[in-house]
Amino acid sequence: MKLWSKSGTETALAVESFTVGKDKDFDAMLAPFDVLGSIAHTKMLGDVGLLTNIEAKQLVQALQHIYGEVNKPDFEIPSTVEDIHSYVELLLTQRIGEAGKKIHSARSRNDQVLVDIKLFLRNEIKELVSSIHTFFELLQTQSESYKNHLLPGYTHLQLAMPSSFGLWFGAYAESLIDDMIQLQSAYQIVNKNPLGSAAGYGSSFPINRTQTTKLLGFDTLHYNVVYAQMSRGKTERIVAASLASVADTLARLSMDICLYLNQNFNFISFPAHLTTGSSIMPHKKNPDVFELIRSYCNRLKSLPNEIMMMTTNLPSGYQRDLQLLKEHLFPAFKDLKQCIDMAGLMLSNIQIQENIVKDEKYKYMFSVEEVNKLVLQGIPFRDAYKQIGDAIEQGNFEYSTTIQHTHEGSIGNLCNADIAKQMQKIMETFSFKKTDAQLAALLT
pLDDT in tens, 64-107: 999 999 999 889 888 888 888 889 999 999 999 999 999 999 99
SS3 at position 100: helix
Residue 199 pLDDT > 80: yes
What domains sit in the chain, N to C, each tagged with a CATH number? 13-105 (1.10.275.10), 110-357 (1.20.200.10), 360-394 (no CATH)
pLDDT at 20: 66
Dihedral sign of CA atoms 263, 265, 270, 271 in order:
positive
| Beta strands 220-221; 268-269: pairing state | unpaired
Predicted model pTM: 0.92
Cα–Cα nearest to 162, from 361, 353, 386, 369: 369
| Residue 228 and residue 222 in contact, taking contact as beta carbons nearer than 8 Å | yes
CA distance 422 to 143: 16
Q: What is the pLDDT of residues 355-368, one digit of tens each?
A: 999 999 999 999 99
CA distances from 131 to 135, 330, 338 (A): 6, 17, 9
Residue 430 pLDDT > 60: yes
Residue 207 pLDDT > 60: yes
SS3 at position 410: strand
Neighbours of 313 (CB within 10 A): 6
Which residues, in sequence order, are bridge partners of residue 410?
413
Secondary structure letter of residue 232 according to DSSP: H
CA distance 407 to 52: 69
Burial bucket for residue 8 (CB in 10 Å: 0-12, 13-18, 19+) = exposed
| Beta strands 220-221; 192-193: pairing state | parallel
CA distances from 1 to 77, 83, 275 (A): 12, 9, 51
| Residue 161 and residue 168 in contact, taking contact as beta carbons nearer than 8 Å | no
| Residue 184 and residue 429 in contact, taking contact as beta carbons nearer than 8 Å | yes
Where residue 4 falls among pLDDT bands split at 50, 70, 90?
A: very low
pLDDT at 317: 85
Percentage above 90 pLDDT, the chain: 83
> Looking at residues 32-54, what average pLDDT do you find?
96
Where residue 5 falls among pLDDT bands split at 50, 70, 90?
A: low
Where residue 130 falls among pLDDT bands split at 50, 70, 90?
A: very high
pLDDT at 15: 76
CA distances from 433 to 141, 251, 269, 428 (A): 27, 31, 40, 10
Q: What is the pLDDT of residues 292-302, one digit of tens each?
A: 999 999 999 99
Cα separation of the two ends of the chain: 30
Residue 406 pLDDT > 50: yes
Q: What is the pLDDT of residues 245-296, one digit of tens each?
A: 999 999 999 999 999 999 999 999 999 898 886 667 767 788 899 999 999 9
Average pLDDT, the chain: 93
| Residue 249 and residue 179 in contact, taking contact as beta carbons nearer than 8 Å | yes
Neighbours of 119 (CB within 10 A): 26
| Residue 36 and residue 208 in contact, taking contact as beta carbons nearer than 8 Å | no
Cα–Cα nearest to 272, from 256, 288, 260, 258: 288
pLDDT at 33: 96
pLDDT at 11: 63
CA distances from 160 to 135, 154, 257, 366, 413 (A): 29, 5, 18, 8, 20
CA distance 225 to 22: 28
| Residue 200 and residue 225 in contact, taking contact as beta carbons nearer than 8 Å | yes
| Residue 200 and residue 290 in contact, taking contact as beta carbons nearer than 8 Å | no
